[in-house]
Structure 1
């Protein structure tokens, strides 16, 4: 239970080092998207990468080559999703959530809050985080596809072209 053999320890050290290098290479090849703010698909890939690395490290039934193949597969799938969302018409709307307007011209939109499962307190917190103390001076609060909040003040709203494509909840 506490110790099986030195060969098992040596395997973990050797395969672990190789798997670690493989993860670093895969992350460098796939680019910043894998490490950016996560949408649902990026999150799944990140969790799967961690789980795969743990399996490679701890399961003697999985060779390094099998683990490296699994890591590369996950990176390729994530690349395919990223390519689909940027190159195919409608791909983004099928695979990722659209941003949703939660507050407009200082007025909280209760239907949007219910739909997005967000509280008024969370909206106020997002506004306060920008250094703003008055909801009336906020043109829009948007729940982005990665779950974060964007706050646009009235003074910075301009022609509101940044709000194109933002869904208004019914």
Structure 2
């Protein structure tokens, strides 16, 4: 088999494995990296490097492996954008943790969120007690969003910085 085709196939296999492994470990792990997470990422990258390039340690071999990873990542993101079923397979869904002050203990247990982690998240949003939380959601990226029931708190609005060109702008 062609040496570079071998690198392409190996890189595809490693990417697929890593995607499945990250998907199975859960979104909580993606929200904040601690020291052990950084060490794990460094060791995994070192471990899979040889699996991708094999005995080819040339510059071109490394560039081929990197190009395959970038191309595959680009294609998967495009496919996820266009195909809802595929997006649901690959991406995590937001999960409601607290609704109107009521904690969903089963969901918290399933996601492995401790009481201390949840308390920290609500404190970061300036809320003291669970009963004051209107909605707490574990987002797809692993972060916890908190919405209080306090009407005096103002919600900021996100505005896109990039404007779409209209047909009149093109002329």
| Short-chain TM bin | 0.5 to 0.7
Match of 1:12 in 2: none
- Residue aligning to 1:153: 148
Q: 1:121 Cα shift?
A: 2.0
Provide structure 2 residue ranges, at least 5 long, that are not aligned to the other structure: 1-28, 32-40, 155-171
Where in structure 1 do 4 or more consecutive aligned residues deviate above 6 Å?
A: 46-49, 52-55
Cα RMSD of the aligned pairs, angstroms, is 3.4
1:87: Cα distance to partner? 1.0
Show CA shifts across 1:60-103 (max 9, x none).
Answer: 84111110111111111111221122111222210011111111
Change beyond 3 A, Cα 1:117–1:125:
same
Deviation (angstroms), 1:51: 3.8
Closer, same or farther: CA 100–86 of 1 in aligned 2, 3 Å: same
Pairing partner for 1:72 from 52, 59, 67? 67
SS in 1 for 2:126: coil
CA separation of 1:116/1:134 partners in 2, compared to 1, >3 Å: closer, same or farther? same
Could you say which residue in structure 1 is the equivalent of 2:100?
105
Q: Distance in 2 between matches of 1:150 and 1:65?
A: 44
Q: For 2:81, which of 66, 86, 108 is the aligned residue?
A: 86
User: CA–CA distance in 1 between the matches of 2:122 and 2:93?
Assistant: 21
Structure of higher RCO (CA pairs closer than 8 Å, 6+ residues apart): 2
TM-score, with structure 1 as normaliser: 0.55
Count matched residues.
114
Q: 1:125 corresponds to which residue?
A: 120
